[in-house]
Amino acid sequence: MLIINNLTKIYEGIRAVNGVSFTVEKGDIYGFLGPNGAGKTTTIRMIMGIIHPDNGSIKLDGENINKEGRTNLGYLPEDRGLYQKQKLTEILHYFGQLRGLQIEEAKKTTSYWLERFELGDQGNRKVEELSKGNQQKIQFILSLLHDPDLIILDEPFTGLDPINQLLMKEIIQEKQNEGKTIIFSTHQMEQVERLCNNICLVDKGELIIEGSLEKIRKKHSSNAVEVRFSGQIRSSGAINFLSELEITDNKISGILKTEPNEFLEWINKRASVLSYQLKIPTLEQIFLDEVGRKA
C-alpha cells in the first residue's frame, strides 16, 4: 500500500533521513522503530506532507502520494496538536469536516468514539482541563474519525495507563481486521512484539533492519538452548555438547557446540525430556545489538 524509496532529508548538512526505503503491505501493522533522534518522526512528516524530502519518492497505492492527496490517511503525531481552549466536541467536529465528513456524520462519529473511550460525558470540557492520557485519547480519535485506510501512529501509548493501552491495542487490531493498514512508530519494543507483523529499524537516519519480525528474530537467534528433563544428567558428559553450561535438578542450559539432534540424542539416552527450546532473542535485544554494532 505504501512504498518508500530512497527517502532523504538533510538539515544544515546533517542527514536526518539518509536513503531510507521500505514497503508496507495493505492490512499490515507495521512497526517503525528506532532510538530517539533516529529519523522516525522526520520520515513520518514527509509521508504526511508536513515537510518535503530532498530526495526519494513516496507512493500510496502505486501513485505519487502528492497526486493522490492525504485525505485517506489518519495521523496521531508524537507532539500533541490540540487547541487547548476549545471544547472536545468542537475540535472533533472541526477536524472531521476537514477530513471530508458532513457535519451530521462528524457528530455521529464523534459521539461513538467518545463513548468508546469513556469520554461520553466530557464533550463540553476544554482540552486544557483533561489529563495527558485523555488528551492522547482525543489525538487517537482524530486519527480515526474519517475512517482512513492508512493510519500512522507516532508513539501512540504516551501518557496512557495500562488499561487504556489495552483498549488502544484492541482498537488497532480491530482496524487491522477491517483491512486497514497501520504504521506504528515507537521505541517501546515490547508493544511492537505484541502487535506488529513486519518491522523497520532505523538509526541515525539509516535503515538497519527491515522485514518480517518472525524471520528477523530467527535470524538473530543464537544456539542458546534450554532443556527441562526428568532423571539424572552429569555435567562431565554435557560439556561435550554445551558451553556456558548450567545444570539444576531438572534443567540444563547452555550454548550448543554441536548439532541440536546430536545433543538431543545424547540427552534422551540419559533422561526423559520434558521440554526443549532454542532461545529466541527479544526485539529489544536485537535492537540493542544492531544499534550497538553500528555504533
Read off the pLDDT of residues 97-134 as tens digits, 9 standing for 90 and up.
999 999 999 999 999 999 999 999 999 999 999 999 99
- Please say if the pLDDT value at position 295 is more than 60: no
Distance CA 48, CA 152 (A): 9
Range 122-147 average pLDDT: 93
Range 133-157 average pLDDT: 94
Q: 222-279, which class in CATH?
A: alpha beta
Average pLDDT, the chain: 89
Nearest to 74 by CA among 143, 157, 169: 143
Nearest to 28 by CA among 52, 51, 46, 3: 3
Distance CA 124, CA 89 (A): 7
Confidence class of residue 85 from pLDDT cuts 50, 70 and 90? Answer: very high
Nearest to 141 by CA among 65, 75, 81, 215: 75
- Please say if the pLDDT value at position 272 is more than 80: yes
- Please say if the pLDDT value at position 13 is more than 70: yes
Q: Distance between alpha carbon 51 and the CA centroid of its chain, in Å?
A: 23
Kind and range of the H or E run holding 172: helix 162-177
Q: Give the phi and the psi of residue 124 in degrees, each rounded to 5.
A: -90, 5
Distance CA 31, CA 24 (A): 10
Classify residue 279 by its DSSP letter.
P
Q: What is the pLDDT of residues 35-77, one digit of tens each?
A: 888 899 999 999 999 999 999 999 998 899 988 778 889 999 9
- Please say if the pLDDT value at position 34 is more than 70: yes
Do residues 146 and 97 touch, judged by C-beta distance below 8 A? Answer: no
For the chain, give every domain's residue range: 2-218, 222-279
Predicted local distance difference test score (pLDDT) of residue 220: 76
Confidence class of residue 266 from pLDDT cuts 50, 70 and 90? Answer: confident
Give the E-state strand segments of 67-175 in sequence order.
Answer: 73-76, 150-154
Distance CA 126, CA 85 (A): 6
Range 222-245 average pLDDT: 82
Predicted local distance difference test score (pLDDT) of residue 172: 94
- Please say if the pLDDT value at position 145 is more than 80: yes
Contacts with 163 (C-beta within 8 Å, 6 or more apart), sequence order: none
The verdict on domain 2-218 having CATH code 3.40.50.300 is yes
> How much is the CA Rg of the chain, to the nearest whole Å?
24
Predicted local distance difference test score (pLDDT) of residue 226: 86
- Please say if the pLDDT value at position 242 is more than 60: yes
- Please say if the pLDDT value at position 270 is more than 80: yes
- Which residues are paired to 210 by β-bridges? 200
Predicted local distance difference test score (pLDDT) of residue 275: 87
Predicted local distance difference test score (pLDDT) of residue 219: 78
Nearest to 33 by CA among 195, 176, 189: 189
Predicted local distance difference test score (pLDDT) of residue 243: 82
Confidence class of residue 181 from pLDDT cuts 50, 70 and 90? Answer: very high
- Please say if the pLDDT value at position 234 is more than 80: no
Predicted local distance difference test score (pLDDT) of residue 240: 86
Place of cell 495507563: 161
Nearest to 127 by CA among 96, 95, 88, 71: 88
Do residues 118 and 166 touch, judged by C-beta distance below 8 A? Answer: no
Query: pTM value?
Result: 0.81
